[in-house]
Chain A
Amino acid sequence: MASHAITEVQHVEENYLEVKSRWRGIFAWIFSTDHKRIGILYLVSSLTFFVVAATIGIFMRLEQLTMGETLMSPDVYNRLFTLHGVIMIFLLIIPGIPATFGNFFLPIQIGAKDVAFPRLNLLSWWLYIIGAILAITTLFLPGSLPDTGWTFYVPYAVRTGSNVALAVFAAFILGFSSILTGLNFLTTIHRLRAPGMTWHRLPLFVWALYATAWIQILATPMVGITLLLIIFERVLNIGIFDPTQGGDPILFQHLFWIYSHPAVYIMVLPGFGVVSEIIPTFSRRTIFGYKLIAYSSLSIALFGSLVWGHHMFVSGESDTANIIFSFLTFFIAVPTAIKVFNWTATLYKGSIALEPPMLYVLSSIFLFAIGGFTGLMQATLPIDVHVHDTYFVVGHFHYTMFGGTIWVMLAGLLYWFPKMTGRMYNKKVAYLAWPFMFIGFNVLYGTMMYMGWKGMPRRYYDHLPEFHTDHVIATVGSWLLYIGILILLGNLVYALYRGAKAPDNPWGGATLEWKTTSPPPLENFTQEPVIKHEPYYFREEDNG
């Protein structure tokens, strides 16, 4: 302990990237228990998976460019849309913001030196990577990649010859990674807040992570059990979902969505948190309705756990259950609407700088709002009967999950990149990527919603002539979007090596991460911060 303390004193000026440990090269990363290094590990791995899955998406769109076979057989196409979904959901969006920015900034924002359990944190990343490797391994094993869609519905998932068992086991392991991260964050938020950091002085990103962590802990075990049951069903033929043995295929859908619906709030709540950070910073004023935003995250977490049945309106679920689930689903619209109104009100009488992170966040609110409104349509029973399992749903969840979560994750990346790396990217190039992404996004997913309303079912390898023009337009949109993503990420990779040195507080932010150096030192602050204000208090900056 003594020698450790001495090292600390000697290297007090070094940032976390320069600190020497007993490991060298890549091992200094993959064996590090520093929450910032783990955050970067997650960031690099999840963005890599993002590019892979987006590329798969491009190939799927290319297949739809002509009728009949264009590039691949139905067998390959079915595996690709499964892989696209599994990677995007389990390897990008669920760990996404919490594991990357949450890991990096949660301890800093509450004035802590690290998370409560640093070793557990490293274990979470390892489980994540092991899960990812297992999922990819199916490609080289008999049966190859699964062809069930990311939802693994039975009986198809039990009957198919593709390698479902290992892919499902991979998702099971990823679930543990998620649970451990949630546990770690909850403990950190409860136990490690700096002096003066009361609950109502927590940045809203921390509140969002707090609500998310509860869902991760409470809901994830559910999907773990469900996935194990699929494996038992396939390997041991236990018959729990098989009607010829007294089982029930609908039971699977209940079990699956009891987790997977709350999971969409695991995916989107941290994004709301990031929005609540970026808007005050670039408006240079306090957030409007702090408490309402904080508590609306909790109420979304609560109501989100009670609405899973709205995925099953045409499954054979009873009419009574359908009506109740529809009713509860509409409740979620209220806290979500509150957030959007409060964000808009925060712009009022601010001093607004439309820097790249702000531009991406504001456009994300627009896209997410479209996702929200189309969600209301699907919550309305007779509309859902028509649009369920069509491209309308595909468009809707890309507006929420991509337009909401991933878009905000990219905004967060533009916001925190200088803090994490100590380098500033080229802002002009960041602006340049925007029209490609924004136009491409709406052309791609807007057209999907339109053709879904006309009756184009999802997960279709081929399409009828009446949908052909729509598919061509959507495919062109996918090219624009993809180009935009590559420009955006390429700019950041370039900045990593050639970017100008970033100042400690490039945006004039008020939360604690902007009060330390860029990049932060190993233990985040040279001395423990004492908090005297609400999180979005910009007056000191004005005086200084």
Chain B
Amino acid sequence: MGASNFTNQVDNVFLFILVISVVLLIGITAAMIYFVIKYRRSKHPNPVDIHGNVLLEVVWTVVPFFIVMGFFYYGVVDYREMRNIPEDAMEVEVMGRMWSWMYTYPNGVQTDTLYVPLNKPIKLKIKSVDVIHSFYVPAFRIKQDAVPGMETKMWFKAQQEGQFQVMCAEYCGDRHSYMYSQVHVLPEDEFERWYASAAAEVETFAQAQEGAEVDEAARLEKLVKQGQRLIKTKGCIACHTLDGSRLVGPSFKGIWGKTETVIANGEEKTIVVDEAYLRRSMLEPNVEIVKGYPPAMPPQGSILNEQEIQAIIEFLKTLKAEQ
């Protein structure tokens, strides 16, 4: 059984066309080689002019036409199934951005890995916040572009448990070839357990926001934990490392309280990284760019709310420079 309900279908169409193509290719090549040897000038010095043959020419116009129409028909039958999304499919929103994927479930859970139950139809609603990406799961034989300003969709049913590679297939800049994610296919009961616990965690984070916690230290601890989660799911670590090494943007390590030279309106100035600067860097990242880095980051206002920004800031505060 294929990894998804489309895997075998696509492979079968492919195989069908491949076999016919190979037969035709061998036929044409063999004919060419045979003629070249049989009618070589040393053995066949007197050529015969044949201007054409109406019957033959009709045959090799009509026969290829019907062959390719066969390919077309076979393809369309499968394609219609790919595009015909079952009504009862679970909807997951896929958000592509430079250079990571984020998944949002109906109960508000957000992840950087796509967890799905086995043998259940999943509908993906695909969006992008910056440039065009393309959500691609090779093992499932599915792909759909993520286009800013519109929502594209597709569906699948996973038929094998395990982890499957997600890739970005539309070129999107420097870290395009690292824009990976995973699909985790879980048995249905296991998926339900994960789904419930993830929802519960969202609930605890929400409490931290509302100030329902009496103990300020406990509240902070929750925020830090949430921030730690968010920098993964929201894709921050696609460009900002935690270990001090350089990727596209400055590392988060030791960022809190650091003195940085930034470029604002084309002029250099020195700032100290505080709450206001971090907040501005998320919402209007290109206003004050740390010197030596490209203005590559899209504004994050559409994917971060105020409470999440606070949680990320609390987490960044904990990343000390050297111990």
Point out residues on A near B: beta carbons under 8 Å.
Answer: 74-75, 78, 147-149, 153, 155-156, 159-161, 242-244, 247-250, 283-286, 288-292, 314-316, 319, 322-323, 326-327, 330-331, 333-334, 337-338, 340-342, 344-345, 347-354, 362, 365-366, 369-370, 373-374, 376-377, 379-383, 385-386, 388-390, 453-455, 457-464, 538, 542
Chain-A contact segment, one of B41-49, B192-200, B203-211, B227-235: B41-49
Having A338-B61, A379-B72, one finds 13 other A-B pairs with CB under 8 Å, namely: A149-B171, A153-B132, A161-B294, A242-B149, A286-B49, A288-B51, A323-B76, A344-B32, A352-B41, A380-B72, A381-B78, A386-B138, A386-B143
- Interchain CB contact (< 8 A) of A350 among B13, B35, B60: B35
Q: Are B176 and A243 in contact (CB under 8 A)?
A: no
Give the chain B neighbours of A316 by CB distance below 8 A.
144-145, 147, 150, 152
Report B9-63 residues with CB < 8 Å from chain A CB. 9-10, 13-14, 17-18, 21, 24-25, 28-29, 31-32, 35-36, 39-41, 44-53, 56-57, 60-61
Report B64-79 residues with CB < 8 Å from chain A CB. 64-65, 68-69, 71-72, 74-76, 78-79
A431 to B36, CA, bound (A): 16
Q: Which residue of B is nearest A349, CB measured?
A: B48
Q: Considering residues A327, A352, A390, A463, which has the most beta carbons from chain B within 10 angstroms of its beta carbon? A: A352
A148 to B25, CA, bound (A): 36
Contact size class for B? 35 or more
Say yes or no for B120: interface residue by CB 8 A criterion. Answer: no
Give the chain A neighbours of B6 by CB distance below 8 A.
382
A382 to B4, CA, bound (A): 14
Closest Cβ of chain B: how far from A269's Cβ, in Å? Answer: 19
Give the chain B neighbours of A319 by CB distance below 8 A.
79-80, 83
Q: Mark each residue of chain B from 117 to 143: 1 if its CB lies under 8 Å from any CB of chain A, else 0.
A: 000000000000011101010110111
Q: Are B132 and A290 in contact (CB under 8 A)?
A: no
A334 to B58, CA, bound (A): 11
- Interchain CB contact (< 8 A) of B167 among A333, A369, A455: A455
Q: Are A292 and B17 in contact (CB under 8 A)?
A: no
- Interchain CB contact (< 8 A) of A381 among B49, B50, B75, B130: B75
A156 to B99, CA, bound (A): 13
A349 to B296, CA, bound (A): 65
A447 to B207, CA, bound (A): 55
Q: Are A386 and B10 in contact (CB under 8 A)?
A: yes
Say yes or no for B170: interface residue by CB 8 A criterion. Answer: yes
Given A326-B76, A380-B75, is A74 in contact with B177 using a C-beta cutoff of 8 Å? yes
Report B256-295 residues with CB < 8 Å from chain A CB. 294-295
Q: Considering residues A153, A365, A381, A454, which has the most beta carbons from chain B within 10 angstroms of its beta carbon? A: A381
A353 to B17, CA, bound (A): 34
Say yes or no for B90: interface residue by CB 8 A criterion. Answer: no
Say yes or no for B165: interface residue by CB 8 A criterion. Answer: yes
